[in-house]
Chain A
Amino acid sequence: MEHYTMNLTLKVWRQQNGNTPGRFETYQVKNISSEMSFLEMIDVLNEEMIREGKDPIAFDHDCREGICGMCSMYIDGRPHGPWQQNTVCQLHMRAYKDGDTIVIEPWRANAFPVIKDLMVDRSSFDRIIQAGGFISVNTGSPVDANAIPVEKNMADAAFAAAACIGCGACVAACKNSSAMLFLSAKVTHLALLPQGHPERRTRAMNMVAQMDKEGFGACTNTGACEAVCPKGISIENIARLNREYLMAGLTSE
């Protein structure tokens, strides 16, 4: 790969905390290498700001490998930035060229209140899982792992849904701030496996009820979520969730 360096203009959302209004600030960054990751570019800016006695930009990140789901930046109108099936921590600066202007905002949704700058509170996702995103089995001695064969196709499909990293990009992309893609990925993961069957009825009902309580919006099938999901979670999961939900409604006493 050819390396190059670039100068950029950043417009970044700054907000002291959840109780104060935010605003955009403009920054110039210089000599950014095309080999840097996007977050390393922000690191460079932050180091400079600290040296100048300013407050650095707060943002969430941890693994920087696209798997923990912590990073969350809305870049030029798209969660996680321009690359397909990618998290912002895996975005690299060769996506940009000298002179570009980049606008960076936090996830915006009522159920994800801003904590500071680009950090938001996603604990609503944990509460959705608490409502039913599990299989009720205690630690002990379950049956041998190979006692129940699982068709490879099913296991693969369950894995594909279980690959969700809980980042919330789907919510950020949705004009209704719906959490349906996240929720449907979990319901699908568990419904496709025989171990998850006994709780199918209640799981979908309880998780959807919790989602509504948290203030996420309804799904109108625009597909914006699927387009930005870093893990390629398919919108077909939402159709499956709707079937599970319907079935639960029909069969609940």
Chain B
Amino acid sequence: MLDSKIPSGPLAQKWTDYKGHVKLVNPANKRKLEVIVVGTGLAGASAAASLGELGYKVKAFCFQDSPRRAHSIAAQGGINAAKNYQNDGDSVFRLFYDTVKGGDYRAREANVHRLAEVSVNIIDQCVAQGVPFARDYGGLLNNRSFGGTQVQRTFYAAGQTGQQLLIGAYQAMERQVALGNVQQFTRHEMLDVVIIDGKARGIICRNLVTGELERHFGHAVLLCTGGYGNVFYLSTNAMGSNVTAAWKAHKKGAFFGNPCFTQIHPTCIPVSGDHQSKLTLMSESLRNDGRIWVPKQKGDKRKPNDIPEEERDYYLERRYPAFGNLVPRDVASRAAKERCDAGYGVGTTGQAVYLDFKYNLINKYGKAEANKQGIQNPDLDTLIRLGKEVVKEEYGNLFDMYEKITGENPYEVPMRIYPAVHYTMGGLWVDYELMTTVKGLYALGEANFSDHGANRLGASALMQGLADGYFVIPYTIGNYLADDIATKPIPTDHPAFVAAEKEVADRISTLMNVKGKQTVESFHKRLGKIMWEKCGMARNENGLKEAITEIRELKKEFWSDVRIPGSVNEMNPELDKAGRVADFIELGELMCLDALNRNESCGGHFREESQTEEGEALRNDAGFSYVAAWEFKAEHDWNLHKEELSFEVAKPTQRSYK
């Protein structure tokens, strides 16, 4: 039976009560307890720093050459918090409500409320660490809007918010390294969890520089290893982002929650050709000031600036007048796909829509600046010049990035954008304490499934990663470790360590010995194509069944024909990639199975069989108001466990952004 361990009592009191009654570990005992943290993104770095400060002995691992390079660094637009600094009616309750609704009523109320509560502490913590958030002229913090909300609660640092937050967490962690509380292992990849007497007690990892396998003991193991969007090959994730750590845990007993819940982000730079290795996001914050449109006339080949105002279809503003360009991501992505499928798409491939800044550049920023500077009756050129300066300050790095990739200047010509895979709401199933179904094994950040339901609102992943690491795990882990203070470190020559290492070594040598003809990359591309076409923005029963068959065939082919150059005992990026792609292939099958099982549409999961007359996602609360937690049994064989969701405060309704 799945026990989510949600504390009793009224929603708003649960976390306070929990903290008041949780078991504690005294300082002397903390020093005897070792914690392994895999991953140093926002979730991992904040957890490692905070646990180190508390006195635990922490070992932190990442596969990049420095903890500061974790994929969190690339987050652009901002981080939410219910500070209500704008006095526009925000509150903890509203952030909670928006998040549950934005997630299309497939998240756990208690977790989301806790997230909203601690959001305010995160901003205080980050400012104290020296995170240079944007400020107004009075020296106070600035906010911007993100999709799915009607208040301004997003804190930001230009288009580099993730970078600044991660550097804050990284510096806090490096301070603990200097103090000897945290030991850091870079260019190390975790390849298995070690379980002794039903408890996670360590990991096996590979030193990526020497190729050696290493055994590490921990009283508890935290997986903070990020999301698995790269199962689609093309995504906005960093090249190395992968599912391997979570997948190994899954195969050792950790259930996987809602694997098919994928976020497709509406505003990314479109694919330009077969050589494409990744896709680049243009932050959602751009929808504050950019208006999305396509020509009213099918196949209109005119240049965007030559198409007059009355011949443009601002389809989001037309369909969703209340939220306009700021509808949630799943809604905006489907609307873009609908227009392109109907033949209104732009650009050489017809798979793009315009994101246009001209209107706000002139009317919002240009005019405001002119007023500020006391310029009477400014002409158009002056307005454009003034507006550009403001836009540059807000989004300069994003505009530069766009120009470097496309060779076009977005201050002059509208951006061309198209949806792309961006984030995975699914992940390892965890209870209220962030523990997986394996005792002592935790999952934090994007690696868990917990807070975003079927669709994540913008600026909420950074919030969740830091909430988990700074403010949740330091309490919940004590509740577990308090019973473990008598456990001495287990020597790594214990048979369980030996067996786990052998399993890893065998798998690596099997991979190396296939000596086939096809490259790892070519398999990854083929998997991505199956996933995008059949388990992407729109899914249906036939497609998913086909996908499962195709993925099983691909798996066979991979294990009989993959070619990995080089040897095991050296730096070998192709070998690293092969292990990750092998896991992605298995995950792909489970995602399709989950999507097939969930015969309803909700959030980012759109089953063509289940839609309203207007083409909106149609939930089926009677049948599917549960978290699908999958237990691995054997190859191609999973057991479904259901965690029923009950909504006591945010009562499910058909989501409407009209």
Contacts and interface: CB of A to CB of B under 8 A. Distances in A.
B505 interface: no
A166 B68 CA distance: 9
A225 interface: no
A149 interface: yes
Interface of A: 1, 16-17, 33, 35-37, 39-40, 43-44, 47, 49-51, 53-56, 58, 60-70, 83, 85-86, 90-92, 94, 115-116, 119, 121-123, 125-126, 129-131, 133-146, 148-152, 155-156, 158-159, 162-163, 165-166, 189-190, 193, 195-196
Contact of A155 (B135, B273, B405): B135
B515 to A, nearest CB: 10
Given A149-B139, A162-B132, A166-B66, A139 B571 contact: no
Contact of B175 (A64, A125, A130, A143): A130
B135 A152 contact: yes
Contacts of A66: 401, 404
B646 interface: no
Given A69-B69, A70-B64, A146-B140, A134 B127 contact: no
Nearest to B470: A139
A134 B171 contact: yes
A50 B164 CA distance: 38
Nearest to B167: A162
Given A40-B277, A50-B563, A134-B175, A142 B521 contact: no
Contacts of A60: 65
A152 B571 contact: no
Interface in B88-138: 121, 123-130, 132-138
Contacts, number: 218
Contacts of B141: 145-146
A62 B240 contact: yes
14 contacts: A40-B276, A44-B275, A51-B519, A65-B280, A70-B64, A70-B65, A125-B66, A135-B130, A135-B171, A143-B124, A145-B124, A155-B132, A163-B163, A193-B132
B66 A130 contact: no
Contacts of A193: 130, 132
Contacts of A86: 404
A42 B136 CA distance: 44
A64 B239 contact: yes
Nearest to A36: B275
Interface in B545-569: 563, 565-566
A222 to B, nearest CB: 26
Contact of A144 (B46, B124, B167, B239): B124
B138 A149 contact: yes
- Smallest CB-CB A-B distances: 4 pairs: A149-B139, A142-B128, A134-B171, A159-B132
Given A115-B571, A116-B571, A142-B128, A68 B140 contact: no
B139 A137 contact: no
A150 B139 CA distance: 5
Given A17-B570, A64-B277, 6 more contacts: A17-B571, A55-B566, A67-B73, A123-B186, A145-B126, A193-B130
B124 to A, nearest CB: 5
B10 interface: no
Contacts of B400: 85
Nearest to A129: B174
B124 A47 contact: no
A47 B67 contact: no
Which of A1, A135, A143 has the most chain B CB atoms closer than 10 A to its own CB? A135
Interface in B225-284: 238-240, 272-273, 275-278, 280
A62 B163 contact: no
Which of B67, B239, B404, B563 has the most chain A CB atoms closer than 10 A to its own CB? B404
Contacts of A125: 66
A142 B184 contact: no
Contacts of B401: 65-66, 90
A47 B74 contact: no
A213 B406 CA distance: 43
A162 B65 contact: no
B329 interface: no
Interface in B465-519: 470-471, 474, 517, 519
Contact of B521 (A1, A43, A90): A43
Contacts of A70: 64-65, 69
Given A152-B136, A193-B130, A1 B73 contact: no
Given A83-B404, A162-B167, A193-B132, A130 B125 contact: no
A121 B163 contact: no
B238 A139 contact: no
A67 B406 CA distance: 18
